[in-house]
Amino acid sequence: MTIKKSVRLSDLSERLCLILSETGEPNYSGTLNKIAERYETIIGQTLPDLTQNEKLAICQCYNGYMKPERVRDQIAALEFTISEGYQWDDNVKELLIGAESADDLLGNDGSEIQTLLEKVRSWTIPERIAVIDMTERFWNGKN
């Protein structure tokens, strides 16, 4: 089903619509739909392998987090966001350790967060974007 919407396009979006249009005039709906399909395909193929607990722990790190507007800043902040979430949110620790409660965290050496942060450091930009997308879908209830 298609619906007609009114949208405001950034300069980048407008430029991409013109570039991807097959005619000399921009085909906004056609190119936006093409971009959305490409994005969905890329996201589906680039999400790094994570355990369910790692996915939930990363999403928990974004609970109430005010992400920077620019995607590049979100990408750069990913490792920091996860590290800080682990440090300050026992729910993140419980998920990564597999503990039933914060009481089970005593004696934890923090190796599980180091393992996760090593994974994060190895991720490509598309993988990082896919993880950020995963957290947004989770918190928007659309995962």
Residue 2 scores a pLDDT above 80:
no
Residue 44 scores a pLDDT above 60:
yes
Within 89-124, residue ranges assigned H as helices are 90-97, 111-122
Residue 4 lies in a domain: no
User: What is the per-residue pLDDT for 100?
Assistant: 61
Question: What stretches of the chain adopt beta strand conformation (E)?
Answer: none
Burial class (CB in 10 A: 0-12, 13-18, 19+), 85: buried
- Say whether both 102 and 118 belong to one domain: yes
- Say whether both 68 and 41 belong to one domain: no
Q: What is the pLDDT of residues 72-109, one digit of tens each?
A: 999 999 999 999 999 999 899 888 887 565 555 555 67
- Say whether both 42 and 61 belong to one domain: no
Residue 2 lies in a domain: no
Q: What is the pLDDT of residues 55-74, one digit of tens each?
A: 999 999 999 888 899 999 99
Amino acid at 139: W
Pick the closest to residue 74 from 90, 93, 58, 54 (CA basis).
Answer: 58
Containing structural domain, residue 40: 11-46
- Say whether both 101 and 127 belong to one domain: yes
Q: How many domains does the chain have?
A: 2
pTM confidence score: 0.85
User: What is the per-residue pLDDT for 108?
Assistant: 64
